[in-house]
C-alpha cells in the first residue's frame, strides 16, 4: 500500500490550496492508499531558524512527528500558492526547521550529500 503525505502550506483554510489538498486526499483515500494530510497552519512550531545551523534548535513535537511522517511516506505532495515568485513564509519556515542536516542531507568533505536511508 502506497503511503502518501500531503503538506498544505497555505495559511488560509478557506483557500483554493486547502480545497485542493482535501480533494487530493479524498482521491488518494479512494485509490486505497494510506494518506495523511497536514495543514501547516494547524501545527505548533516556531518557523524561524533563529541561529541557522550554528546552534541546534530543538524540534517541537509537531515537527518531530512530521519528520517521521516524511520518512515513512512513499510519495510527498506539497500544496502551496505562488506568492511573489515563491512559497508562503509558513512553508519556508517549515522547510527550514524540518529539512535539517543529518535528516535531509549530510556534509562530506565540504559538499552536501543525500543521507543513506
**Is the model more confident about 101 or about 44?**
44
The CATH code that applies to domain 3-113 is: 3.40.50.360
Using a pLDDT cut of 70, give the percent of the chain over it: 91
The residues facing 38 across adjacent strands are: 7
Cell of 81: 500558492
CA 92/CA 97 separation, integer angstroms: 9
The residues facing 107 across adjacent strands are: 112
Residue 101 is classified by DSSP as B
- For the residues 5-24, what does the mean pLDDT come to? 97
Q: How confident is the model at residue 110 (pLDDT cuts 50, 70, 90)?
A: low
The residues facing 112 across adjacent strands are: 107
Burial class (CB in 10 A: 0-12, 13-18, 19+), 52: exposed
Is it the case that residue 47 has pLDDT exceeding 90? yes
Q: Rounded to two decimals, what is the model's pTM?
A: 0.88
Q: Where are the domains of the chain?
A: 3-113
- For the residues 64-71, what does the mean pLDDT come to? 98
Amino acid at each position: 500500500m502506497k503511503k502518501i503525505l500531503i503538506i498544505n502550506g497555505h495559511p488560509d483554510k478557506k483557500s483554493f490550496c486547502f480545497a485542493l489538498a482535501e480533494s487530493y486526499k479524498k482521491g488518494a483515500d479512494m485509490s486505497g492508499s494510506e494518506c495523511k494530510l497536514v495543514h501547516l497552519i494547524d501545527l505548533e512550531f516556531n518557523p524561524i531558524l533563529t541561529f541557522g545551523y550554528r546552534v541546534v534548535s530543538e524540534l517541537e513535537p509537531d515537527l518531530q512527528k512530521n519528520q517521521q511522517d516524511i520518512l515513512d511516506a512513499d510519495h510527498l505532495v506539497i500544496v502551496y500558492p505562488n506568492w511573489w515568485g515563491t512559497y508562503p513564509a509558513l512553508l519556508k519556515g517549515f522547510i527550514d526547521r524540518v529539512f535539517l542536516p543529518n535528516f535531509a542531507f549530510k556534509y562530506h568533505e565540504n559538499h552536501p550529500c543525500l543521507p543513506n536511508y
